[in-house]
């Protein structure tokens, strides 16, 4: 699973409810959504594996994030800097942070390895900022790995349905 493209090793399958790793991965993804909506960004950062990548590509079809332009392409350092901007109170994104409620569903396992699982899902996010309500939809791909502390996010790709349209400063994480 070196790329974000669905693995050829295993066909995409509906969530197998008899696979404890798949259920643990979905639970982690739901916990992530809760932490983001609650703006608990430090706790959210604790869900990540060392070296994890948070990606919001412009081109919905790309799998080569390093060679293409992205809205977001964060490694550990950049993710933590983004959290600092959102929580520090010294940036416009912190001063005018949006309130969000997101729903994540339509889970499909698209790849499996002995120590990792890839799950695709859909996210609908409703936000409120500066007296305006907005809706964002995206296809998500999470690569979840297991370490001594349990499941961790090693890659999250957020493919916005309108990724090639105008994007304004959001004041929240996707």
* List of domains in the chain: 19-160 (3.10.450.50)
The predicted structure's pLDDT at residue 89? 63
* Dihedral angle, C-alpha 39, 43, 49, 51, nearest 10 °: 60
Cα 150 to Cα 172: distance, rounded to the nearest angstrom: 26
Per-block average pLDDT, block size 10, for the chain (174 residues)? Answer: 49 74 96 96 97 95 94 95 82 68 96 94 93 93 95 97 78 84
- Report H helices in the chain: 20-37, 41-45, 76-87, 92-95
Closest CA to 53 of 132, 127, 154, 126: 154
Cα 135 to Cα 128: distance, rounded to the nearest angstrom: 9
> Cβ neighbours of residue 27 under 8 Å, at least 6 residues apart?
none
End-to-end Cα spacing for the chain: 22
Closest CA to 3 of 106, 115, 143, 116: 143
Instruction: State the pTM of this model.
Output: 0.87
**Number of CB atoms found within 10 A of residue 133's CB:** 10
- Let me know: does 143 contact 163? Beta carbons within 8 Å: no
* Dihedral angle, C-alpha 128, 134, 140, 142, nearest 10 °: -10
Question: What is the pairing mode between strands 150-160 and 48-57?
Answer: parallel
């Amino acid at each position: 699973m070196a790329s974000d493209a669905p693995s050829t090793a295993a066909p995409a399958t509906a969530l197998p409810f008899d696979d404890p790793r798949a259920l643990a991965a979905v639970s982690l993804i739901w916990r992530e959504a809760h932490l983001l909506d609650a703006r608990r960004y430090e706790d959210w950062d604790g869900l990540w594996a060392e070296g994890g990548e948070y990606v919001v590509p412009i081109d919905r079809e790309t799998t080569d994030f390093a060679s293409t332009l992205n809205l977001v392409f964060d490694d550990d350092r950049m993710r933590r800097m983004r959290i600092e901007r959102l929580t520090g109170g010294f940036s416009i994104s912190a001063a005018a942070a949006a309130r969000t409620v997101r729903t994540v569903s339509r889970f499909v396992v698209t790849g499996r390895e002995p120590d990792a699982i890839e799950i695709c899902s859909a996210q609908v996010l409703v936000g409120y900022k500066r007296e305006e309500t907005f809706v964002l939809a995206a296809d998500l791909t999470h690569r979840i790995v297991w370490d001594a502390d349990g499941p961790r996010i090693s890659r999250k790709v957020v493919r916005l349905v309108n990724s090639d349209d105008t994007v304004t400063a959001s004041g929240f994480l996707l």
